[in-house]
């Protein structure tokens, strides 16, 4: 495949598409006075953003410190797509990735994003040339390949999606050029927020230390909770029996506990059997405590009054409570023995206020 030449007007589209102002594409020989210094070490530094845009929200909606609160591993993979010649031309494409669309004079940001996605489909099953792992809660930036640097070239970089608390963080796939010049990138750079800004003075000198500020999108993620109540036996003469449940979802423990959901639900029983309530939109990855706070004076719970479970994205967690009517109910100093038919009802032919009881046959 022949070498590709990228015109200066295409570089703005690259920068805007990738939101990597310090990465530019173009032919240095048409812009600069000297060639690339092959003895100069090239580096790429990945910078962690301090905010993320919220998906399905207004453009100005964002989560401050969204990623920086993630105490885990953020992985960024780099795949080399082409070499860069000393005269600034893009060399032969590697890994059978077609970059020819990027050499058109009318290339757009949409074209470059499409090229990045197509390139990923070609290289996704191969090992990346470089990989950097960052803990956002402890590091704000990190060099790729430490102090050994990277080879000159055009790179596709891919950030792996991850979940943290109630958010799913996702990243577009982008392309970066190493080295670059601010003249080629039309006198722009990236700031600490990942935004493209102007530089006071552009230069046709090659810049060998490339920085990329990741731009992320956060999507709120939820799960469901199903509360099932089984009532084994029911005293019809006492009327409707309510059962009340308190639901609390939270992250962390003790001093670090953060409550993210709290509500109360009830079920009314007029016969023995099962009922359930489905609670929607509880933040994913949270721990939930469900407590039966009221079960009526004449019904006893079997087992614990409090159940704990975890909420997963797009899944339904379940807890179950079972209650039964008291075999002995005290009315003053009078003890009453209850009789049940096969359907679980207290026999209505027996007066619950009577001081004596007798077995009564009922038709089922």
HEC assignment per residue over 43-91: EEEEECCCEEEECCCCCCCEEECCHHHCCCCEEEEEEEEEEECCCCCEE
Global pTM value: 0.69
Residue 348 CA to chain centroid, in angstroms? 55
Answer yes or no: are the C-beta atoms of 26 and 6 closer than 8 Å: yes
Tens-digit pLDDT profile for residues 258-294: 999 999 999 999 999 999 999 999 999 999 999 999 9
| pLDDT band at residue 110 under the 50/70/90 scheme | confident
Other C-beta atoms within 10 Å of 73: how many?
A: 11
Average pLDDT over residues 159-181: 88
User: How many of the other CB atoms lie within 10 Å of CB of 313?
Assistant: 13
Whether the domain at 8-220 and the domain at 222-337 fall into the same CATH topology: yes
Tokens of 10: 């295409």
- C-alpha of 247 from chain center: 23
Average pLDDT for 216-230: 94
Average pLDDT over the chain, rounded to an integer: 77
Which residues are bridge partners to 231 per DSSP? 273, 323
> Domain 8-220, CATH 2.60.40.1120 — does that match?
no
CATH architecture of structural domain 222-337 = Sandwich (2.60)
In this structure, the number of other CB atoms found within 10 A of the CB of residue 121 comes to 9
Which pLDDT score, from 0 to 100, does residue 203 have? 62
Which pLDDT score is estimated for 298?
86
Starting at the edge strand found earlier in the chain, the sheet holding 216-220 runs 62-64, 51-54, 216-220, 167-171, 162-164
Look at residue 199 in the predicted model and tell me its pLDDT: 53
pLDDT for 62 equals: 65
Over residues 316-347, the pLDDT tens digits come to 999 999 999 986 553 333 333 444 445 554 44
Residue ranges per domain, the chain? 8-220, 222-337
Q: Is the pLDDT of residue 197 over 80?
A: no
Residue 31 has pLDDT above 60, yes or no: no
Work out the average pLDDT over 355-364: 37
Kindly tell me if the per-residue pLDDT of 178 is higher than 60.
yes
The whole-number pLDDT of residue 79 equals: 96
**pLDDT for residue 201:** 58
Least confident of 14-23, 51-60, 237-246, 313-322: 14-23
Percentage of the residues of the chain whose pLDDT score is greater than 70: 70
> In degrees, to the nearest 5, what angle opens at C-alpha 24 toward C-alphas 21 and 30?
140
pLDDT of residue 21: 29
Mean pLDDT of 143-159: 93
Q: How much is the pLDDT for 280?
A: 96
Q: Answer positive or negative: Cα dihedral of 338, 341, 342, 346.
A: negative
pLDDT of residue 182: 58
Calpha distance 288→310 (Å, rounded): 6
């Amino acid at each position: 495949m022949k070498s590709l030449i990228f015109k200066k007007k295409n570089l703005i589209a690259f920068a805007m598409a990738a939101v990597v102002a310090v990465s530019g594409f173009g032919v240095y020989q048409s812009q600069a006075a000297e060639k690339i210094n092959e003895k100069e070490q090239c580096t790429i530094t990945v910078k962690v953003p301090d905010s993320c845009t919220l998906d399905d929200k207004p453009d100005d909606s964002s989560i401050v410190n969204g990623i920086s609160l993630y105490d885990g591993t953020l992985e960024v993979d780099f795949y080399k797509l082409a070499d860069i010649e000393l005269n600034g031309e893009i060399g032969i494409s590697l890994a059978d990735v077609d970059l020819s669309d990027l050499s058109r004079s009318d290339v757009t940001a949409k074209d470059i994003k499409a090229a990045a996605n197509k390139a990923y489909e070609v290289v996704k099953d191969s090992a990346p040339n470089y990989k950097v792992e960052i803990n956002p809660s402890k590091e704000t930036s990190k060099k790729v390949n430490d102090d050994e640097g990277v080879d000159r070239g055009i790179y596709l970089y891919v950030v792996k999606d991850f979940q943290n608390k109630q958010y799913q963080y996702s990243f577009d796939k982008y392309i970066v050029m190493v080295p670059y010049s601010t003249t080629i990138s039309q006198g722009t750079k990236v700031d600490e927020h990942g935004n493209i800004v102007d530089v006071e003075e552009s230069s046709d000198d090659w810049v060998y230390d490339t920085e990329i500020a990741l731009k992320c999108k956060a999507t709120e993620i939820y799960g469901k909770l199903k509360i099932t109540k089984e009532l084994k036996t029911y005293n019809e003469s006492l009327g409707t029996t309510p059962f009340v449940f308190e639901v609390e979802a939270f992250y962390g423990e003790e001093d670090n506990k953060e409550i993210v959901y709290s509500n109360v639900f009830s079920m009314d029983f007029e016969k023995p059997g099962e009922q359930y309530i489905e609670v929607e939109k509880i933040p994913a990855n949270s721990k939930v405590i469900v407590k039966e706070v009221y079960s009526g004076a004449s019904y006893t719970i079997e087992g614990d009054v409090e159940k704990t479970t975890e909420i997963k994205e797009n899944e339904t967690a379940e807890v179950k409570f079972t209650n039964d009517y008291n075999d002995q109910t005290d009315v003053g100093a009078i003890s009453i023995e209850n009789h049940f038919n096969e359907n679980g009802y207290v026999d209505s032919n027996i007066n619950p206020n009577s001081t004596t009881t007798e077995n009564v046959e009922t038709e089922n």
